[in-house]
Amino acid sequence: MIELQRLTGMRPQDVCHLRACDIDMSGDVWIYEPHDHKTSWRGHRRLIPLGPQAQKVVCEFLQLDTTRHLFSPSDAEAERNSTRRANRKSRMTPSQSRRTPKPNPKRAKRDRYDTDSYRRAIEYGIKKANDSGVEVPHWFPLQLRHSKGTEVRKQYGLEAAQVVLGHKHAAVTEVYAEKNLELAMEVARQTG
Protein backbone atom coordinates (compact mmCIF):
# COMPACT_ATOMS: atom_id res chain seq x y z
CA MET A 1 0.00 0.00 0.00
CA ILE A 2 2.81 2.36 0.92
CA GLU A 3 4.71 1.69 -2.28
CA LEU A 4 1.60 2.16 -4.44
CA GLN A 5 0.62 5.38 -2.67
CA ARG A 6 4.17 6.72 -3.04
CA LEU A 7 4.20 5.95 -6.77
CA THR A 8 0.79 7.47 -7.52
CA GLY A 9 0.24 10.21 -4.93
CA MET A 10 -3.27 8.96 -4.21
CA ARG A 11 -5.01 9.72 -0.94
CA PRO A 12 -4.84 7.08 1.82
CA GLN A 13 -8.59 6.40 1.43
CA ASP A 14 -8.09 5.74 -2.30
CA VAL A 15 -5.42 3.09 -1.72
CA CYS A 16 -7.58 1.50 1.00
CA HIS A 17 -10.60 1.25 -1.35
CA LEU A 18 -8.65 -0.18 -4.31
CA ARG A 19 -10.45 -3.00 -6.13
CA ALA A 20 -9.58 -4.61 -9.46
CA CYS A 21 -13.05 -3.84 -10.86
CA ASP A 22 -12.30 -0.11 -10.48
CA ILE A 23 -9.18 -0.27 -12.68
CA ASP A 24 -9.31 0.12 -16.47
CA MET A 25 -6.46 -2.13 -17.64
CA SER A 26 -7.00 -1.65 -21.39
CA GLY A 27 -4.07 0.73 -22.06
CA ASP A 28 -0.37 0.77 -21.28
CA VAL A 29 -1.18 3.12 -18.38
CA TRP A 30 -4.00 1.78 -16.25
CA ILE A 31 -6.65 4.15 -14.89
CA TYR A 32 -8.03 3.64 -11.39
CA GLU A 33 -11.34 5.36 -10.67
CA PRO A 34 -12.30 4.92 -7.00
CA HIS A 35 -15.97 4.04 -6.53
CA ASP A 36 -16.04 6.39 -3.54
CA HIS A 37 -13.70 9.31 -2.95
CA LYS A 38 -13.38 12.63 -1.17
CA THR A 39 -15.13 14.80 -3.78
CA SER A 40 -17.59 12.27 -5.20
CA TRP A 41 -20.44 14.05 -3.39
CA ARG A 42 -19.76 17.06 -5.63
CA GLY A 43 -20.04 14.95 -8.74
CA HIS A 44 -16.30 15.05 -9.49
CA ARG A 45 -14.57 12.06 -11.06
CA ARG A 46 -11.21 10.97 -9.66
CA LEU A 47 -8.97 9.25 -12.20
CA ILE A 48 -5.61 7.94 -10.99
CA PRO A 49 -3.10 6.79 -13.64
CA LEU A 50 -1.10 3.68 -12.74
CA GLY A 51 2.23 3.46 -14.57
CA PRO A 52 4.37 0.34 -15.04
CA GLN A 53 5.85 0.38 -11.51
CA ALA A 54 2.43 0.83 -9.90
CA GLN A 55 1.04 -1.94 -12.12
CA LYS A 56 3.67 -4.35 -10.81
CA VAL A 57 2.57 -3.60 -7.25
CA VAL A 58 -1.11 -4.06 -8.13
CA CYS A 59 -0.48 -7.32 -10.04
CA GLU A 60 0.91 -8.97 -6.90
CA PHE A 61 -2.48 -8.55 -5.20
CA LEU A 62 -4.93 -9.24 -8.04
CA GLN A 63 -7.48 -11.97 -7.29
CA LEU A 64 -10.21 -13.81 -9.17
CA ASP A 65 -12.90 -11.90 -7.30
CA THR A 66 -12.48 -8.42 -8.78
CA THR A 67 -14.91 -6.84 -6.30
CA ARG A 68 -12.72 -7.66 -3.28
CA HIS A 69 -10.38 -5.00 -1.96
CA LEU A 70 -6.79 -5.71 -2.98
CA PHE A 71 -5.31 -4.91 0.42
CA SER A 72 -6.97 -6.86 3.22
CA PRO A 73 -6.04 -7.16 6.91
CA SER A 74 -7.49 -10.68 7.00
CA ASP A 75 -5.28 -11.75 4.06
CA ALA A 76 -2.24 -10.11 5.69
CA GLU A 77 -2.95 -11.96 8.96
CA ALA A 78 -3.32 -15.29 7.13
CA GLU A 79 -0.01 -14.73 5.31
CA ARG A 80 1.73 -13.76 8.57
CA ASN A 81 0.41 -16.90 10.30
CA SER A 82 1.44 -19.21 7.47
CA THR A 83 4.94 -17.70 7.45
CA ARG A 84 5.20 -18.18 11.22
CA ARG A 85 3.99 -21.76 10.87
CA ALA A 86 6.53 -22.49 8.12
CA ASN A 87 9.40 -20.99 10.15
CA ARG A 88 8.44 -22.84 13.34
CA LYS A 89 11.39 -24.69 14.88
CA SER A 90 9.60 -26.98 17.34
CA ARG A 91 6.76 -29.39 16.65
CA MET A 92 3.21 -28.28 17.29
CA THR A 93 1.63 -29.74 20.40
CA PRO A 94 -1.58 -31.78 20.00
CA SER A 95 -3.64 -29.13 21.79
CA GLN A 96 -2.33 -26.45 19.40
CA SER A 97 -3.10 -28.51 16.31
CA ARG A 98 -6.70 -29.10 17.52
CA ARG A 99 -7.33 -25.38 17.99
CA THR A 100 -9.79 -23.75 15.64
CA PRO A 101 -10.42 -20.05 15.22
CA LYS A 102 -13.32 -18.62 17.15
CA PRO A 103 -16.48 -18.64 15.04
CA ASN A 104 -17.48 -15.12 16.16
CA PRO A 105 -14.43 -13.29 17.52
CA LYS A 106 -15.00 -9.96 19.26
CA ARG A 107 -12.71 -8.23 16.78
CA ALA A 108 -12.45 -10.15 13.53
CA LYS A 109 -10.05 -8.97 10.82
CA ARG A 110 -11.89 -6.96 8.21
CA ASP A 111 -11.91 -7.38 4.45
CA ARG A 112 -10.24 -3.99 3.86
CA TYR A 113 -8.17 -1.36 5.59
CA ASP A 114 -9.58 2.03 6.44
CA THR A 115 -7.42 5.12 6.80
CA ASP A 116 -7.05 4.63 10.56
CA SER A 117 -6.09 0.94 10.37
CA TYR A 118 -3.67 1.79 7.53
CA ARG A 119 -2.04 4.50 9.70
CA ARG A 120 -1.87 2.12 12.70
CA ALA A 121 -0.22 -0.58 10.56
CA ILE A 122 2.44 1.93 9.52
CA GLU A 123 2.96 2.97 13.15
CA TYR A 124 3.32 -0.71 14.12
CA GLY A 125 5.91 -1.24 11.38
CA ILE A 126 7.87 1.84 12.46
CA LYS A 127 7.82 0.70 16.10
CA LYS A 128 8.93 -2.81 15.14
CA ALA A 129 11.79 -1.42 13.01
CA ASN A 130 12.89 0.95 15.78
CA ASP A 131 12.79 -1.89 18.34
CA SER A 132 15.11 -3.94 16.13
CA GLY A 133 17.70 -1.16 16.04
CA VAL A 134 16.83 0.50 12.71
CA GLU A 135 16.03 4.19 13.26
CA VAL A 136 12.86 5.07 11.32
CA PRO A 137 11.29 8.48 11.94
CA HIS A 138 7.57 8.75 12.63
CA TRP A 139 5.46 9.65 9.58
CA PHE A 140 1.86 9.54 8.31
CA PRO A 141 0.38 8.11 5.07
CA LEU A 142 -0.71 11.54 3.85
CA GLN A 143 2.96 12.59 3.77
CA LEU A 144 3.43 10.19 0.83
CA ARG A 145 0.92 12.27 -1.14
CA HIS A 146 2.71 15.50 -0.22
CA SER A 147 6.07 13.99 -1.22
CA LYS A 148 4.74 12.87 -4.59
CA GLY A 149 3.25 16.31 -5.22
CA THR A 150 6.54 18.01 -4.37
CA GLU A 151 8.51 15.58 -6.54
CA VAL A 152 6.22 16.04 -9.57
CA ARG A 153 6.14 19.82 -9.16
CA LYS A 154 9.93 19.96 -9.03
CA GLN A 155 10.37 17.80 -12.12
CA TYR A 156 7.36 18.71 -14.30
CA GLY A 157 5.87 21.92 -12.88
CA LEU A 158 2.78 23.01 -10.94
CA GLU A 159 0.22 21.98 -13.55
CA ALA A 160 1.56 18.41 -13.66
CA ALA A 161 1.43 18.19 -9.86
CA GLN A 162 -2.14 19.50 -9.94
CA VAL A 163 -3.19 16.80 -12.43
CA VAL A 164 -1.38 13.98 -10.60
CA LEU A 165 -2.89 14.93 -7.24
CA GLY A 166 -6.33 15.41 -8.81
CA HIS A 167 -6.87 18.98 -7.66
CA LYS A 168 -9.35 21.19 -9.47
CA HIS A 169 -7.46 24.39 -8.61
CA ALA A 170 -3.70 25.01 -8.62
CA ALA A 171 -3.96 26.93 -5.34
CA VAL A 172 -4.73 23.67 -3.53
CA THR A 173 -1.73 22.00 -5.16
CA GLU A 174 0.54 24.79 -3.93
CA VAL A 175 -0.35 23.79 -0.37
CA TYR A 176 0.56 20.15 -1.06
CA ALA A 177 3.57 20.48 -3.32
CA GLU A 178 6.33 22.52 -1.71
CA LYS A 179 7.97 25.21 -3.78
CA ASN A 180 11.31 24.42 -5.35
CA LEU A 181 13.88 26.11 -3.10
CA GLU A 182 16.72 24.79 -5.26
CA LEU A 183 15.36 26.71 -8.27
CA ALA A 184 15.21 29.92 -6.22
CA MET A 185 18.80 29.33 -5.07
CA GLU A 186 19.94 28.80 -8.68
CA VAL A 187 18.24 32.05 -9.75
CA ALA A 188 19.94 33.84 -6.85
CA ARG A 189 23.32 32.41 -7.93
CA GLN A 190 22.90 33.71 -11.47
CA THR A 191 21.14 37.02 -10.88
CA GLY A 192 21.93 38.19 -7.42
Give yes or no for residue 183 having a pLDDT over 80.
Answer: no
129 in a domain, yes or no? no
At 167, is the pLDDT very low, low, confident or very high (cuts 50, 70, 90)? confident
pLDDT exceeds cutoff 60 at 50: yes
- The per-residue pLDDT for 58 is 95
pLDDT of residue 184: 62
Region 31-47 average pLDDT: 79
188 within domain boundaries? yes
- Confidence grade of residue 178 (pLDDT, cut at 50, 70, 90): low
Position 158 in a domain: yes
Contact between residue 100 and residue 107 where contact means Cβ atoms under 8 Å apart: no
Half-sphere exposure of 45 (CA within 13 A, CB side): 7
- Helix, strand, coil percentages in the chain from 3-state DSSP, rounded to 5: 55, 5, 40
> Average model confidence (pLDDT) for the chain?
85
Domain presence at residue 23: no
Q: What is the pTM of this model?
A: 0.79
H/E stretch holding 23 reads: strand 23-24
Q: Integer distance in angstroms from the first to the last C-alpha of the chain?
A: 45
Q: Is residue 150 part of a domain?
A: yes
pLDDT for 136: 92
**Percent of the chain whose predicted confidence (pLDDT) is above 70:** 89
Domain that holds residue 188: 143-192
> Is pLDDT above 60 for 192?
no
Q: Classify residue 117: in a domain, yes or no.
A: no
Q: How confident is the model at residue 75 (pLDDT cuts 50, 70, 90)?
A: confident
CA 130 to chain centre: 21
Q: What is the total count of domains within the chain?
A: 1
Q: Is residue 121 included in any domain, yes or no? A: no
Residue 182 within any structural domain of the chain: yes
